Chains A and B, each alone.
Chain A
Amino acid sequence: MKSGSNLEKILTKGLFAVTGELGPPKGNDVSVVKRKADLLRSYVDAVNITDNQTAIVRMSSIATSSLLIQMGLEPVMQMVTRDRNRIAIQSDIFGATALGIQNMLCLTGDHHTFGNQVDSKNVHDLDSIQLIDCVRTLRDEGTLLGGEEKVEGQIKIFIGAAENPFGDPFEFRAVRLGKKVAAGVDFIQTQCIYDMNRFKEWMRMVRDRGLHEKVHILAGVTPLKSGGMARYMAKNVSGITIPDEIIDRIVKSKKPAEEGIRLCVEQIQELKEIEGVHGVHIMAIEWEQMVSQITEMAGLLPRPRVE
């Protein structure tokens, strides 16, 4: 076992994993974390804790992950390279693992100009692939990046990263996943999937390269709440494509939220059948209360207990 986390055990046993997502509060209000944690508890195997997503200042992912452990849930601590150089990154990993965090997602991060601190200096000392290499070096070599200096103690972490099959250039997306695998990633969570044909085509390229046997791929889904949300995401979020028939289905529905949940469940069932997909990552952003229903309807409950 690389970290012995619940997520690692489930994936290693060949079980279909389910992860969720929790955005920390824009301040130190722990009750927000508790409320969201209660909505996700026992419906997912681990919960991603975002790291100042969309560059909005929030409670740190390390602190929130630590609170989550106290609340009895397993975190996947996200870490972006936007805000930290390699000194801070490695120091934070020491601290995070000391606090019991066993899963980590290595990201570059949303650009700072999307957030509420647009005047900040972005760091990008490393990119996400270099970050994966850095964490793997800490864990497997027991040394700091670029040196022989030994780490005191043992870094046990299950290394994750993201991939977006809907970004361009499309033909490079599986190659990029291969670079992450070569750098040492253990699991991947994808950007939310609406264009199933494109996702299947990407998975075919992934399988052609044999990558599905080297990394656990968790397919990302986000339930659509309304026609407005579908239209907004399709138009304004780069790297997300929503086919017109999906937008139409939500827009024309009398109860769009219910239709969004039904669509999400159908997507999960379709994704489960794709060779190489080992789980789903449910990003119900500010809609965490629906995760219980989605996982129930998709036949993902009860979540397995593994030792």
Chain B
Amino acid sequence: MIKAEQKPMDEILRYINPYNRILLAGCGACVTVCHAGGEKEVALLASGLRMARKKMGKSVEILEATPARQCEPEFALELTETIEKVEAVVSIACGVGVQTVVGHFPRIPVFPGVNTTFLGETITHGVWEERCQACGNCILERTGGICPIARCAKQLFNGPCGGSSKGKCEIKREADCAWQLIYDRLKNLGQLYKMEEIIPARRWGVESRDSGPRRIVREDLKV
């Protein structure tokens, strides 16, 4: 799922400085799971902002709302009535949610309250790690189900660099070397031959974000 982290309070306070009444909008999906932008975090951040503003001698009224999925128009539109009552919105959904609100409410300023960080998995309670770069052409079949694009610091396609040492990456000693993981996994599966094949240069310019924002059109689903 999408992972995010709350921005520093000072930064959020700077965004909302000119306003006296705002909406703090969370999201019930990914950012709830990673404890960055769900209903609970909306309540905590709202009370933190209220206290900070009170201390500054500049009270602020904060309305709270957490639609089930801020990135889906029908849920984002649930905010319509509340947004009419405020001067600005702080969204603690991911960057997609922020932009859905922006797209449907053209006359109100919308600020991000989190940094959207990566597509990742939960390692243990309170720890998440990047797993996917949404590169547009999945190669997990060739790499034992472990992604070197997301997990190798150099995005190598053809095996580990010289800095792989005792299973760890030289860039971050606490990080596993993705290619060591791939090697171990393919060995367990009896598929080490896959590491002998050269993976040719990727078509980044056609398949990935480098071609501009990507779009999926499903004719069978269009109404």
Whether the Cβ atoms of A172 and B160 lie closer than 8 Å is yes
Query: A167 and B160 in contact (CB under 8 A), knowing A86-B201, A175-B196, A179-B196?
Result: yes
Give the distance in Å from the alpha carbon of A162 to the alpha carbon of B159 in the complex.
Answer: 13
- Asked whether any CB of chain A lies closer than 8 Å to the CB of B19, the reply is no
| Contacting pair A167 B200 (CB below 8 A) | no
Instruction: Scan A137-175; emit 1 where CB is below 8 A from any B CB, else 0.
Output: 000000001100000000000000011101111001001
Interface string of B136-160 (1 = CB under 8 A from A): 0000000000000000011111111
Contacts of B171 in A (CB 8 A): 111, 113
- What size tier do the contact residues of chain A reach? 35 or more
Known: A167-B161, A172-B183, A238-B170. A183 touches B154 (CB 8 A): no
| A134–B202 CA distance with the chains assembled, in angstroms | 12
Q: Choose among B159, B195, B201 the residue that contacts A126 (Cβ–Cβ < 8 A).
A: B201
> Contact: A168 with B201, CB < 8 Å?
no
Q: Does B222 contact A (CB under 8 A)?
A: no
A45 within 8 A of B: no
Q: Is B164 an interface residue (CB 8 A)?
A: yes
Contacts of A166 in B (CB 8 A): 162
Flag whether B165 is at the interface (Cβ < 8 A). yes
Number of A-B contacts (CB under 8 A): 97
Name which of B166, B177, B201 has the most chain A CB atoms within 10 A of its CB.
B201
Assess whether B95 is interfacial by the CB under 8 Å rule: no
Q: Give the chain B neighbours of A127 by CB distance below 8 A.
A: 154-158
Q: What chain A residues lie within 8 Å of B168 (beta carbons)?
A: 238
- Interface size class, chain B: 20 to 34
User: A167 near B198 (CB under 8 angstroms)?
Assistant: no
Out of B153, B165, B202, name the residue touching A168 (CB < 8 Å): B165
A253 part of interface (Cβ distance < 8 Å): no
Whether A108 touches B161, Cβ cut-off 8 Å, given contacts A122-B154, A145-B201, A183-B198, is: yes
Which chain B residues border A109 with CB–CB below 8 Å? 154
CB-defined contacts of A162 to chain B, threshold 8 Å: 162
* 1/0 contact string of B169-182 vs chain A (CB within 8 Å): 01100000101100
A164→B163 CA distance, assembly (Å):
9
Instruction: Decide yes or no whether A304 CB sits under 8 A from chain B.
Output: no
Binary flags per residue of B190-223, CB closer than 8 Å to A gives 1, else 0: 0000011011111010000000000000000000
Q: Which residues of A have CB within 8 Å of B179?
A: 169
**Contact A133 to B200, CB < 8 A, known contacts A108-B154, A169-B183, A238-B165:** yes
Chain B residues within 8 Å of A122, by CB: 154
Tell whether, in the assembled complex, residue B164 and residue A238 are in contact, meaning their CB atoms are under 8 Å apart.
yes
Whether A172 contacts B159 by the Cβ 8 Å rule is yes
Residues of A within 8 A of B155 (CB): 124, 127
Q: Which 9 A-B pairs have the closest CB atoms?
A: A164-B162, A238-B170, A239-B162, A129-B158, A238-B165, A167-B162, A238-B163, A130-B201, A124-B155
> What residues of chain B have their CB less than 8 Å away from a CB belonging to chain A?
153-168, 170-171, 177, 179-180, 183-184, 195-196, 198-202, 204
Apart from the given pairs A108-B154, A166-B162, A238-B163, 15 other A-B contacts in the complex at a CB distance below 8 Å: A86-B201, A108-B161, A125-B204, A127-B157, A129-B198, A164-B161, A167-B164, A168-B160, A168-B165, A169-B180, A175-B159, A179-B159, A179-B198, A238-B168, A239-B163
